[in-house]
Homo-oligomer: A and B are copies of this chain.
Amino acid sequence: MIVHILSTGDEVLLGDIVDTNSAHLCRAVKDMGYKVQKITAVGDDVEKIASAITDISVCADICLVTGGLGPTSDDVTALACSRAAGEECEIDQEALTSMKAYFVKRGYELTRENEKQAMLPAGSKMMTNHNGTAPGFFMTLNQCLFFFMPGVPREMKVMMETEVKPVLSQRFGQAHGIFIERITVFGLGESGAGALLNGFHEIFPGMRLGFRVDFPVIEVKIILSDGLQEKEAAASKIKKAKDWVMERLQNKVVSEKGLSIPEEVGRLLAGQRKTLAVAESCTGGLISSMITDVAGSSEYFLFSGVTYSNDAKINILGVQKKTIIDHGAVHEETAREMAMGARLKAGADFGISTTGIAGPGGGTLAKPVGMVCIGLAGKDVSRAKTYRFAFDDREMNKKIFAVTALELLRRHLTGVPETS
């Protein structure tokens, strides 16, 4: 089953908006067991849209089209479709009735511009728009079944669910299909992970690996997409492959369910009924922000002291003045006292801390940009460790420092040794 997406509209080609519609449709198609083969985006131009429709009509089975169904003069998709089909556009009575009902319900009057929206290509079948005025429609050209939907995301999403999916299911049935397992990896580059997983394709024919980098973390995907597998057989196949991958990646695996590091740390803390406090210097609040991006984090996250100044480290976190005078702010002893201080101040089970040099300025030979000391404190633990990263970018350093601190805690919570 070959599925294409055609996205129309100048705003995408001018870069004014990011094409989130296509991403949404890709996921919807994947959920039905198919995979999109190609996405095409063209501007608001009758000839270009008609030509794209003709091209797609001879090489795809299904095409999902978005955009260009509105009331203004730059909305030309229905016209383009009729051109490609060699048909006229004509008033669709069902569409007109449905639009009138939509307007009456809201106390508006139908304008002439709106009436244009009921002009559909002859031979097409109207689809109701539950969230707006522009009706959609579907029709077959050559070998391909085209679905035309509005470009407004909330209108398109509802139409996909309530109008397009039922037609697809009825005509093609649910495919079997794509089984995906996701593993979150930290501490390896994409090439390092690839090297460790060399040989996968020979051992597991019919399956493949995908890699997605979300710096500094990598998501490794194990993908089984060869056709009409029984669910159980597929699950057993993919489990074997996953075990093999996990064995190879060893302690670089952060989550075997594809969770982010803050999600995994949150899951562990909530499961163990433990609470956390943070003391941040160079990460500047990023650790806290990552933790609190996870809904429900108030269950385990109590406090973070973002102590940029030395006075704040001393007065608020209780770091000893002597420590900073003797060793400076970027030092393991300072990190250790920061973590302990945050933990005590907030009455938390655990404290973690960061103090380092994010750059671009502030580095020295002894303490270069990219160096960070991370502290960990708990009832039975109080220590710190130094890491050196080689990025010159402030935001990248903040990110990798933050993730490293969370990973130190994660390993402590799971009992994995944190060295290596």
What is A's interface to B at a CB cutoff of 8 Å? 7, 10-20, 22-30, 35-44, 48, 52, 70-74, 105-107, 111-114, 117, 131, 133, 152, 154, 180, 190-195, 198, 201, 208-213, 215, 223, 278, 280, 283-289, 291-293, 295-298, 301-309, 311-312, 315-316, 345-347, 358-361, 390, 393-395, 398
Contact = CB atoms under 8 A, between A and B. Distances in A.
9 contacts: A15-B36, A16-B211, A16-B213, A38-B42, A154-B215, A284-B288, A292-B306, A292-B398, A309-B346
A15 B23 contact: yes
Contact of A292 (B20, B105, B133, B284): B284
B19 A15 contact: no
A213 to B, nearest CB: 6
Given A38-B48, A72-B209, A292-B358, 14 more contacts: A13-B26, A15-B23, A16-B211, A19-B19, A35-B43, A38-B42, A105-B390, A133-B191, A284-B288, A285-B306, A288-B288, A288-B289, A288-B306, A301-B308
Given A309-B302, A361-B295, A398-B292, A73 B285 contact: no
A385 B343 CA distance: 32
Most chain B CB within a 10 A radius of its CB, from A17, A133, A283: A17
A196 to B, nearest CB: 10
A contact face: mostly helix, strand, loop, or mixed? mixed
Nearest to A313: B303
Contacts of A305: 303-306, 316
A152 B213 contact: yes
A73 B306 contact: no
Given A10-B210, A213-B152, A298-B309, A113 B70 contact: no
A44 to B, nearest CB: 8
A376 to B, nearest CB: 18
Contacts of A286: 285, 289, 292
Nearest to A211: B72
A198 B29 CA distance: 38
A195 B35 CA distance: 40
A25 B180 CA distance: 30
A72 B73 CA distance: 47
Nearest to A396: B154
A48, A52, A285 — most chain B CB neighbours (10 Å) = A285
A195 B117 CA distance: 13
Contact of A308 (B14, B112, B295, B302): B302
A226 to B, nearest CB: 14
Given A23-B17, A37-B43, A48-B37, A73 B10 contact: no
Contacts of A20: 18
B298 A308 contact: yes
B14 A19 contact: no
A23 B41 CA distance: 11
A13 B42 contact: no
A25 B15 contact: yes
Nearest to A72: B194
A307 B41 CA distance: 45
A312 B306 contact: no
B211 A70 contact: yes
Nearest to A40: B40
Contact of A285 (B35, B105, B133, B285): B285
